[in-house]
Amino acid sequence: MPDITVINDIDENIHVAFFVGVPTNWKNNLKPGERWTTHLASLPLHFEVRWAHRIDFDTGNIWCSQEFSHNDSMEMFATIGGACAAGTASVVSAGGLLACDMVVGIPIISGPLMAVANAGGAKYGDWRADVRLCTARVWVPFWNKQYSVRMVEGRGCVLWDVDDNAMV
């Protein structure tokens, strides 16, 4: 299991996290120029960057975004877990009703379950979307790796592979 280092190369504090379905490794308030190293399994992972706070200089208002936390991860896990369970129950109940030649009952039982599954999937997909700076899919290799969160003209905030000198 390699060490993965994330470097904040933008001019603001950020929250960063690696996901296996839900955030599993994170660092909140990574300061500009600061490095964070974590030990990860060699898997395909999702990476997300959230802004930490924003200032409206006209009004003086300061907004703070949601930090990554154990409770946030568990809530996200429950949302997607419930959606998966409802979707599975929808398919199983439809198959059972079809096998019993009770086709009329499929929309009555299976339809609401699938609606719950769709609503849970939509909530999971939009989770904290209003505070995301960027996301990326990364394959964690079997060796140590460095990534940089930086701004690229025309692309905005991106995850940069420092070792390969390429955008992820």
pLDDT tens figures, 148-160? 999 999 889 999 9
Q: Domain residues for 116?
A: 71-125
Helix H or strand E segment including 51: strand 44-51
- What pTM was computed for the model? 0.71
In the Cβ-directed half-sphere of 51, how many Cα atoms lie within 13 Å?
15
How many independent structural domains does the chain possess? 2
**CA-CA distance, 24 to 48, in Å (whole number)?**
11
Q: How many residues does the chain have?
A: 168
Res. 21 pLDDT band, cuts 50 70 90: confident
> Residue 147: which CATH number?
2.60.40
Same domain, 54 and 78: no
Same domain, 106 and 143: no
Pairing of strands 156-161, 166-167: antiparallel
Same domain, 106 and 121: yes
